[in-house]
Amino acid sequence: MKKTHPNTDIAELVHGFLKERERGIEERPIRASSDPFWKSLKETGSDLWFDTGDIEAAGQVWSSEFSALTTNNTLLNAEVQKGIYDDFIGEASRMLFSLPIDERVLEIAFILNAYHGLRLVKRFGGRVSVELHTALSDDIDGTIRYARRFHRISPDYFIVKVPLTPSGYIATRTLRKENVPVNFTLGFSARHNYIAASFSVPSFVNVFLGRLNSYVSDNGLGDGRMVGEKATISSQQVVRELSKKSTTGTRQIAASLREDSQVQDLAGVDVLTIPVQVARSARKELSGQFESRVLREYQVRLSQDIDEKAVGIHRLWEVTDKEKKFVERISSEVPKSAGEFIAQAHEAGLTDLFPRFSPEELKAIAGDGKIPKHKRWEDRVKRHESAVDSLINLAGLASFAESQRELDDRVRKLIS
């Protein structure tokens, strides 16, 4: 393996390394046949993606109706922890020997994401969402730089996942003007995605609906049923209306379905990302007779002693004049930083959507795991200083960051 010279452009070196390794990928393209079950679902208007990084597992259930796969920091980490890339990591490290170790770890994480994505492309022939390092979530320039690099590696197949943060909104606006496909991840409400589709115009937006259901049920606010489904359908309607006014448009993802019933309840949403185990269960339990549900008005039931307005659950599916005026403002006075973006949001009255938390509070959110403890934040929610969607967004980012740390730690141990 050729080693780097201190003056070598790292991006060019990594690009060459990956293109060389791409030629050596031994994955055989899968021969997929059609499945009437998935064909019926696809005919409702939904594109079907697998939500996995596991090549073997996806290959067992893949049919010609599926067109893409989506990975994330957690799914990639699961593959890396199997040890299948240990030798590969060593090769990449020797190539990057001139870099300080922290920079080397960041580059190797990028290389792993790209290479695993290329393997998925070679095997399945579909598009693949590849994710940025979580260290870039508040770095506008870094997000743009690494997204461009992903796009250069596989312009026809890679979709770059950018997390929904103030910096992510700004970076995605630039990337889409350069026609870089962006999957704007970690969205949890119609208003999240209204701002994204209006201001940033990503290729895709998400509602991670299972976490919304869990927030309500785990915190004893209600049975949790149909919370995420209602938010997803509402966001779908908002995004479709906005996309009619755009030359590029944005598509809605019902992200990471957790139950086979959601396959039926969300039929017709632009994209369904389905974990392998959910696909297997749906194939076994559902009739396979699907119709579009994108005009359904799902009902959400909270416990009798819960004040819906105090919890603010309605903010998951409502878009108000505040969001519309905010978009008008930032579209005419484009923020140059996350700080400017947040300040303009607060001036528009959206103090709950982009809350200001102290380091200690952010640590507490991370400590709660993927589902924040509502009691801890109840008073701030009532004062419109936070909300369900903003809390779960921060918790989700923290969860991905933990998976990224585990991946980075393995890399660091291997190259030390």
What amino acid positions are annotated as catalytic residues?
161
SS (H, E, C) 241-284: HHHCCCCCCCEEEECCCCCHHHHHHCCCCCEEEECHHHHHHHHH
CB 380 within 8 A of CB 355: yes
DSSP string, 32-54: ----HHHHHHHTTT-EEEEE---
Q: How many helices (H) and strands (E) does the chain have?
A: 19, 8
Hey, which residues does 183 pair with through a beta bridge? Answer: 161, 204
| Beta strand ranges found along 85-157 (DSSP E) | 127-131
User: Do the Cβ atoms of 88 and 70 come closer than 8 Å?
Assistant: no
CA 68 and chain centroid, separation:
14
Coil vs helix vs strand at 13: helix
Tell me, what amino acid is at 156?
Answer: D
DSSP string across 220-251? TSB--TTHHHHHHHHHHHHHHHHHTT-SS--E
Report the distance separating Cα 178 and Cα 374, nearest Å: 40
Cα–Cα distance list, 96 to 47, 112, 114 (Å): 39, 14, 16
CB 388, CB 315: distance < 8 Å: yes
- 276, 66 contact by CB (below 8 A): no
Sign, CA dihedral 280-282-286-291, equals negative
Q: How far apart are CA 228 and CA 273, in angstroms?
A: 14
Other Cβ atoms less than 10 A from the Cβ of 183: the count is 28
Q: Which residue has the tokens 């201001």?
A: 199
Q: Residues near 404 by Cβ (< 8 Å), separated by ≥ 6?
A: 73, 77, 109, 133, 134, 135
Write the CA distances from 363 to 357, 367, 397, integer angstroms. 10, 6, 12
